[in-house]
């Protein structure tokens, strides 16, 4: 059984120094203001470049200090009032006090700094869509104490739950279901048996997944099923002891992309921003430009988000993914969409070599690794001698590390774009195209 953190008011960071005045001249990748006092760097939560602020050190280090904002003396012209009433407590959105245009500008500046060794002077294009109501899936924390329900997200730099009325970055459909769900859970004994709730919206509609930490009666489950039916919501249960919910094939989820239907288990990874995912995949197809002469390797392929669009255009596609269940989903999706030129292989790319893949005669590679990057596989990847590599990254630091290795092995960065997949947060997504030099 998962140990849950008691819900209580979030305590402020311990203040260990006097209030001091700072001029903020930068912004960190965590959306904290960067200032210097007597030559020492101080990161100030909530401060923006160009501001003069009063702040108090909460954590002193040998190289830098962390500080809490006490007062803004001279605000930035780009500062705005966060539209979300939960902004000050919730740990979900760290950038709402900055205008959306400046959010993207700050992310781009930080990205260019990370890529200075491999793409110095390279122009960085932008992919962006709407700033709110974009998130089609979310995990909601649940806690009940003394009969009071807390439903929301973790607080900033804390495990404590901030109970919210709604979340502005959720899709409109999920915002609606969040409100009625909170009403349903209030004074319902099921709330105390829920570890967390997963909200999901796709082309099949809205779904709720309830992860239970305690068994419930069939009568209670049936009551919830009747409620879900009236709300036009699909309901899934992850029972105590299960690693994930048991879902029949007919009850799998799906979404539309590039004229294709991609089915997946409700707990499989998919991109949470559907409009941005469509833009990202379209740009990947444009940049990599696969033809009927190309054999494309799609690494960390998931259920086929890139593999299937690539298969519509290329001679052959090989998708590689570590999770067997997602490999199985990829194969079913290929069959569902009538694509017989794509195959899926289960392999751990932190350990795999290129022996099995060499036989395909790969000409181009697309890789979309997790935050840790793909460094362990790069040497094997180079041995495949691809002409181009399209790298989709959710962490600019590991992208910079991997790109530097590829550049040192004879590749050149051709194009870079920043993708605003998570507006209102400091998260940075990047797409980079590299080409092998002759």
Looking at the annotation, which residues are catalytic? 394
How many helices, marked H, and strands, marked E, lie in the chain? Answer: 10, 21
Strand partners, 134: none
Contact 90, 164 (CB under 8 A): yes
DSSP secondary structure of 261-278: EEEE-TTS---SBHHHHH
* Secondary structure, 3-state, 307-323: HHHHHCCCCEEEEEECC
* Secondary structure, 3-state, 400-429: HHHHHHHHHCCEEEEEEEEECCCCCCCCCE
* Secondary structure, 3-state, 119-138: HCCCCEEEECCCCCCCECEE
Q: Residue 305 to residues 42, 87, 255, 266, 389: CA-CA distances in angstroms?
A: 41, 32, 10, 15, 17
The sheet that has 429-436: what strands, in order across it? Answer: 124-127, 411-419, 429-436, 388-393, 364-367, 295-299, 316-321, 342-346
Count Cα neighbours of 135 within 13 Å in the Cβ-side half-sphere: 20
Give exposure, 131-166, as e/b (b: 16+ Cβ within 10 Å). bbebbbbbebbbbbeeeebbbbbbbbeeebbbbbee
């Amino acid at each position: 059984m998962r140990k849950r953190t008691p819900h209580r008011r979030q305590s402020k960071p311990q203040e260990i120094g006097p209030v001091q005045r700072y001029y903020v001249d930068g912004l960190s990748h965590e959306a904290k203001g960067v200032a210097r006092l007597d030559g020492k760097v101080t990161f100030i939560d909530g401060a923006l470049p160009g501001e003069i602020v009063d702040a108090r050190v909460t954590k002193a280090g040998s190289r830098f200090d962390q500080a809490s904002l006490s007062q803004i003396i001279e605000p930035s012209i780009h500062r705005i009032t966060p539209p979300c009433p939960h902004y000050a407590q919730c740990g979900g959105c760290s950038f709402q006090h900055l205008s959306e245009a400046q959010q993207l500008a700050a992310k781009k500046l930080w990205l260019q700094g990370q890529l200075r060794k491999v793409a110095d002077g390279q122009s960085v294009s932008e992919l962006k869509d709407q700033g709110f109501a974009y998130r089609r899936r979310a995990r909601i924390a649940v806690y009940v104490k003394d009969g009071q329900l807390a439903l929301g997200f973790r607080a900033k730099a804390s495990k404590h739950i901030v109970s919210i009325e709604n979340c502005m970055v959720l899709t409109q459909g999920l915002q609606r279901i969040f409100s009625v769900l909170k009403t349903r859970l209030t004074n319902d004994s099921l709330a105390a048996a829920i570890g967390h709730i997963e909200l999901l919206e796709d082309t099949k509609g809205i779904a709720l997944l309830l992860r239970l930490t305690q068994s419930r009666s069939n009568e209670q489950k049936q009551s919830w099923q009747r409620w879900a039916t009236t709300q036009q919501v699909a309901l899934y249960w992850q029972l105590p002891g299960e690693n994930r919910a048991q879902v029949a094939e007919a009850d799998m989820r799906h979404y539309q992309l590039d004229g294709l239907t991609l089915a997946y288990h409700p707990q499989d990874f998919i991109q949470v921003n559907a409009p941005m995912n469509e833009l990202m995949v379209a740009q990947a197809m444009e940049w990599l430009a696969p033809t009927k002469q190309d054999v494309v390797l799609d690494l960390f392929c998931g259920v086929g988000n890139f593999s299937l669009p690539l298969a519509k255009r290329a001679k052959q596609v090989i998708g590689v993914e570590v999770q067997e269940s997602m490999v199985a989903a990829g194969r079913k999706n290929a069959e569902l969409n009538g694509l017989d030129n794509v195959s899926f292989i289960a392999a751990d790319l932190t350990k795999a070599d290129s022996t099995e893949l060499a036989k395909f005669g790969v000409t181009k590679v697309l890789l979309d690794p997790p935050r840790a990057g793909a460094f362990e596989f790069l040497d094997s990847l180079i041995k495949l001698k691809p002409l181009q590599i399209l790298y989709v990254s959710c962490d600019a630091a590991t992208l910079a590390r991997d790109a530097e290795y590829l550049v040192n092995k004879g590749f050149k960065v051709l194009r870079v774009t920043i993708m605003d997949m998570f507006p209102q947060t400091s998260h940075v997504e990047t797409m980079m195209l590299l080409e092998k030099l002759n």
